[in-house]
Structure 1
Amino acid sequence: MNARLGIGLVLLVLAPLASAQVYKCKGASGETVYSQDPCGAGSEPVKLRSNRAASESAGEASNRAAVYRTTGMSDAAIAERNCLQSEQSRIHAPLESRTQAVNRQVAELERQLAVTRSAPPAEGNDVSRATLESGMRAQISSLQQSLSAERVAADAQMSTARDRCATARRQQEDQVNQQYAAPARPSP
């Protein structure tokens, strides 16, 4: 590691300990070592400097508040997006699974219907064949209507979830705005 980078990292790590004493020493192979404790006769105390002013100006405080406010607003948007993704999975994943199952059932009924239609008619079985075909078509229609109703219900649930997620976002944004609102200036 570059010696300057190492020293910079050590000082960065030790900066919070500014109230503690830091000593600069020589290691066994001649390298520079920093320690909280004196490390021998050649150790010398190091004066740590802070890059930050003791107090912050009004402009710096305003900038800091603006950054925190922007971060808070971004967090609110991310929370809304996560809420929507969670609701989408909760609501539509079972529907997708159900859709696949219904599609398999409909495909099987259509296959059976095709087999029934292609079979040579047995004498006197025209009525039973027509009844069987009608029953299969009714089952297919019933499955498709049921699935359609489930989609409508899922869409309604998702609409409610969107409203709930958006309301949570607005509340979080209001809290952020209140927390980082510019202080009112005194009247002259």
Structure 2
Amino acid sequence: MHNNGLGNGKSFQNGNGAGHTYGKFSKNNIEGLTATRENYLRTLFQLSRGTDGVRLTDLARTEGVRLPTARHAVNCLRELGLATQENYGKIQLTATGEEIGRQICDRFDLTRKFLIEVLGVRAEAAEREASVMEHHLEEDTLERLAAFVKHVTNCPGGQYASPDCLVNLRATMDEAIKISA
């Protein structure tokens, strides 16, 4: 189990009752890995789970782009050492690509969860907005957001604004950040 950014390695429940553990929210320091390329890396990570690689046509379809655009993105990820592809074969992530892809997915999933489950944003809008927001949030902000989401989604009776839930919110968040530091 990897660290959830809260320092305790514990997962918390998502909206359908399934637990999810977030990884450490470190920003990548790879020069040339733009927000657009991070989106492609996230998509490749998601599509490659449990497979032997991703077809370029599947990547293009999922991203809503034409094949030359997807091919260019894959070539950029290859140059950064994050993906491999043999002559028109399936695209595979390198170990570094896997790790960064997982981090990007965790940032996106957390931001999306906050928008949907805490703020009540529609799923379609949350997808778009989380895809933009997650690229710009600092590590400390993401860790505090994870602590906040964990706290309010585990409130007694699901009452986010109940006095019992919010009384210790700041202390819970500060403690979570102190533990993860």
TM more than 0.5? no
TM-score interval, smaller chain: under 0.3
TM-score by length of structure 1 reads 0.21
Which structure features the higher share of helix residues? 1
TM-score by length of structure 2 reads 0.22
Greater C-alpha radius of gyration: 1
